[in-house]
Amino acid sequence: MAILAPSLLSADFSRLGEEMDLLDESLCDYIHLDIMDGHYVPNISFGPGLIKALRPRTKKVFDVHLMITEPERYFQDFDQAGADLITIHTDATIHLHRSLQEIKDLGLKAGVALNPGQSLEEIKYVLEDVDLVLIMSVNPGFGGQSFIPSALEKIKDLKALRDQKGLNFLIEVDGGIKLDNAKELLEAGADVLVSGSGVFKEDNPKATIQAFKEL
């Protein structure tokens, strides 16, 4: 069964506590937390303070996606805030391998992300060091974008590479994921589906989450 990670970025922030309770009561597995700094991506979201405030409301996995420059400056802050998994971008840190090791040294799971225009070659030599690879199926920075079809081929290639190397990292996909394309992504090799507007913009988010889980 696929892991579903609703993205809090698409939630109604005027009633965030209620949205968190909805997720906690739902069948979702992870809660995806998009951190943006206005530098690596042209948008600003929220930081460790909000995550710390939300942590007592659920025991679900906090899947923290750092879309920030020099993410290594904040690993300890997000660890202390309650992150379970931290994913960083290959081009946001100078020493990718070292940064991934720093995440794991904190006792957290480590992920690496690739943007739509980036090749699997960029992560080939760190695949043995990660727990998750995030394939961005939109350009990072904003919710509600349309799925970029070339991500499907990248997922298939990554799954083949994982099988070839005998590794067990999870393949996560983020961007433009809705019920009508989720099954195709799972068949291509995705293990974790991130969906923001595909969950929160529906009339009944909890029922939508259940429908995702039943695919």
Q: Which residues are catalytic?
A: 34, 174
For residue 99, give Cα distances in angstroms to 46, 71, 73, 190: 21, 8, 10, 24
- Which residues contact residue 16 at a Cβ distance below 8 angstroms, ignoring those fewer than 6 apart? 8, 54
Q: How many CB atoms lie within 10 A of CB 210?
A: 14
